[in-house]
Chains A and B, each alone.
Chain A
Amino acid sequence: MKKKVSLVLALVLLLALCVPLLTGCGEQQTVLNVYNWGEYIDKDILTQFTEETGIKIVYSTFTSNEEMYAKLKAGGGNYDVIFPSDYMIERMAKQDMLHPLNYDNIPNITHIMPSLRNKAYDPGDVYSVPYMWGTVGILYNTSMVDEPVDSWDILWDEKYAQNIFMYDSSRDCFMPAMIKLGYSLNERSDEALQEATDLLIQQRPLVLGYALDDIQDKMVAGEAALALVYSGYVVGAVEENPDLAYAIPKEGSNVWFDAVAIPKSSKNYEAAEKFIDFLCRPDIALANVREIGYSTPNQSAFDQLTPEEQNNPVCYPSEEELARCDVYVDLGEYNEKYDDAFLRVKGN
């Protein structure tokens, strides 16, 4: 028996030794592992990149910042290029998980709008280059909502019981609650969190569901009257169902940035920077923004949009509207408290 156990262990060890050997061989071509949000790029540009540079791209996707973070933190997956949002960049930078960019390799950075550079989440753009940006607001169906939608209060209106979709993420659900209570959307205090939790528990009977990407399809189909969404969902949804409209409530909301960064664990810093530079090239940025319908931070790409696209208030809200919006910052130890509170709301 003992012999057998040691035989098994020996085989396991042998197997473990083989793994690096297997991945080590046959690698004449540089391979770049890109880890992005789902449906967040024009896939054609990936082939174009390979054709131009000879660098092969392995593309995979995630559905939330937290999922991406959890995977990298656990040491899973060797990613070279990632697309975290503002607060996540701040958190990862704090934890020394990102590689400082060498801008000598990213000359196309000059195309990025100066007003969207050097933001508080990444002072000096040390770790990240903006990729897309947008807001959070209310997507509503004008055939079901008669009154003007301009306040978060409507998400607590009994009239719309079982007619409201909320975005299934703790940060985004707490954002309207905190603002309604007069707190900052980055509030870090137990009392405020408790009040906001109570407010969301109070809202829960009115909520039809807490959903993710499928909100867009459901709103197009007319499943509900109101939904808390990212602005990026709106353009596609309105195209398919002209009854839909979008509003950024007057109390203020969240403006967010998704940026491109390189995890410290990458082994291909140079190729990754080449890819980031490629993404900043006006023609590529234009192809991407046309494909996914968010807002581009790339001035040269923006200039090539049609006036109609440029004046779309969903993608490019007025200065005055943007002034009301805040960027998320990393909540530190409160990240988990928000998640627990959200569980209390949903699990009730």
Chain B
Amino acid sequence: MRKLKLFALPYILWMVVFTVLPMFLIVYYAFTNAPGNSAPTLEHFFKAIDPMYMKILLRSIWIAFLCTALCLLLGYPVAFLLARARNGAVWSLFFILPMWMNFLLRTYAWMSILENTGILNSLFVAMGLGQMELLYNENAVILGMVYNFLPFMILPIYTNLQKQDVSLLEAAQDLGCNGWRVFTRVTLPLSMPGVVSGITMVFMPAVTTFAISRLLSGGKFMLFGDIIEQQYLSTGNWNVGSMLSLIMLAIILLSMGLMGRFGSDTKDGGGML
């Protein structure tokens, strides 16, 4: 046992230097003013709860919610089919494959597909349908996010469904359930841990999204992640940026706690990759 703990040491060290210390720095920046002056202040908090920022925060949460719901709606059936398919593992590769490429590259690819002079619109124009406004709006952002985060929904559900005991399904059938009832009474309730971890894994990155939103909306549609980035990189106000990050962190912890409560209601975990 003692020896095993020793193996964890490099990671603990890593975490202290790159997670815990930066975290303290963020808290420090959020509650102090200008370098050198360590008197605590709530100034940045009052700046951060400006209605403008709160509006963007609510929007981010709403978009993340929408994105998670869409991912679940699209992802569950896919995961179900994959789990039942004979070569599920091979097919699931197709969903992992795009993740081998950086998400920014894939987002840029979406831009050239959707833009006015892009692939889809050229096709529409050639077919006489006329140009459509596909890029530079909210829908493009949601599309980009669902596309990027869908694998994080499919994979945990797939892993869970795949591990389900077939004899349970057979038992349900023997006892007179039709296919639909087997699904709603047995498969679905048993897959809840997978669904919960899928939701967590999509909601977290969705609510903190930046860059995707800026690129696909042409900078017209900002999410909370974008304003944090802006505070650090262009406004140069690290204090407000840190405070906004803390608010984001609080929301994530809150929703994780909420999901955790959901998750623990259903028995035996699993599904989490």
A291 contacts the other chain (Cβ, under 8 Å)?
no
A70 proximity list for chain B (CB < 8 A): 232-234, 236, 238
B237 proximity list for chain A (CB < 8 A): 336
B9 proximity list for chain A (CB < 8 A): 8
Interface with B: A99-107, A149-157, A202-210, A255-263, which one?
Answer: A202-210
What CA separation (Å) do A74 and B222 show in the bound complex?
25
* CB proximity of B75 to chain A, nearest CB, Å: 30
What CA separation (Å) do A224 and B12 show in the bound complex?
52
A125 contacts the other chain (Cβ, under 8 Å)?
no
Contact A15 B17 (CB under 8 A): yes
| A residues with CB within 8 A of B | 8, 11-12, 15, 64, 66-67, 69-70, 73-74, 162, 165, 168-170, 204, 207-211, 218, 221-224, 335-336, 339-340, 343-344, 346-347
Q: Which of B21-49 contact A (CB under 8 A)?
A: none
Contact B136 A209 (CB under 8 A): yes
Contact B236 A218 (CB under 8 A): no
What CA separation (Å) do A68 and B91 show in the bound complex?
46
B115 proximity list for chain A (CB < 8 A): 218, 221, 223
Contact B233 A209 (CB under 8 A): no
* CB proximity of B21 to chain A, nearest CB, Å: 8
A11 proximity list for chain B (CB < 8 A): 13
B1 proximity list for chain A (CB < 8 A): none
Q: Closest chain A residue to B108 by CB distance?
A: A214
- Of B13, B219, B234, B236, which contacts A8 at CB under 8 A? B13
* CB proximity of B28 to chain A, nearest CB, Å: 13
B235 contacts the other chain (Cβ, under 8 Å)?
yes
The count of residues in chain B whose C-beta lies closer than 8 Å to any C-beta of chain A is: 27
- In this complex, which of B56, B217, B235 has the most chain A Cβ atoms within 10 angstroms of its Cβ? B235
* CB proximity of B25 to chain A, nearest CB, Å: 11
What CA separation (Å) do A208 and B117 show in the bound complex?
13
Contact B218 A74 (CB under 8 A): no
Q: Closest chain A residue to B238 by CB distance?
A: A74
A11-B13, A343-B227 known; A222-B219 Cβ under 8 A: no
Q: Tell me what chain B mostly uses at the interface: helix, strand, loop, or mixed.
A: helix
What CA separation (Å) do A74 and B236 show in the bound complex?
9
B220 contacts the other chain (Cβ, under 8 Å)?
yes
A339 proximity list for chain B (CB < 8 A): 230, 234-235
B219 proximity list for chain A (CB < 8 A): 168, 209-211, 346
B17 proximity list for chain A (CB < 8 A): 12, 15
| B residues with CB within 8 A of A | 9, 12-13, 16-17, 52, 55-56, 115-117, 133, 136, 217-220, 222, 227, 230, 232-238
B234 proximity list for chain A (CB < 8 A): 64, 66-67, 70, 169-170, 339
What CA separation (Å) do A70 and B116 show in the bound complex?
35
Question: With contacts A66-B235, A169-B234, A209-B136 known, what are 18 further pairs, Cβ within 8 A?
Answer: A12-B17, A69-B236, A70-B232, A70-B238, A73-B236, A170-B234, A204-B220, A209-B218, A210-B220, A211-B219, A218-B115, A221-B115, A222-B116, A223-B116, A343-B52, A346-B222, A347-B52, A347-B56
Can you offer 18 A-B residue contacts whose CB atoms are under 8 A? A8-B12, A12-B17, A66-B236, A70-B236, A70-B238, A73-B236, A162-B133, A162-B136, A204-B220, A208-B136, A208-B218, A209-B136, A209-B219, A211-B219, A224-B116, A336-B235, A339-B235, A347-B222
A74 proximity list for chain B (CB < 8 A): 238
- In this complex, which of B12, B17, B233, B234 has the most chain A Cβ atoms within 10 angstroms of its Cβ? B234
- Of A12, A67, A162, which contacts B233 at CB under 8 A? A67
A73 proximity list for chain B (CB < 8 A): 236
What CA separation (Å) do A169 and B52 show in the bound complex?
19
What CA separation (Å) do A187 and B27 show in the bound complex?
35
What CA separation (Å) do A224 and B235 show in the bound complex?
28
A8-B13, A70-B232 known; A346-B220 Cβ under 8 A: yes
What CA separation (Å) do A28 and B58 show in the bound complex?
55
* CB proximity of B16 to chain A, nearest CB, Å: 6
Contact B16 A8 (CB under 8 A): yes
What CA separation (Å) do A224 and B218 show in the bound complex?
12
What CA separation (Å) do A173 and B115 show in the bound complex?
23
B232 proximity list for chain A (CB < 8 A): 70
A70-B236, A339-B235, A347-B227 known; A207-B13 Cβ under 8 A: no
A64 proximity list for chain B (CB < 8 A): 233-234
What CA separation (Å) do A15 and B232 show in the bound complex?
27
Q: Which 4 A-B pairs have the closest CB atoms?
A: A209-B218, A210-B219, A70-B236, A66-B234
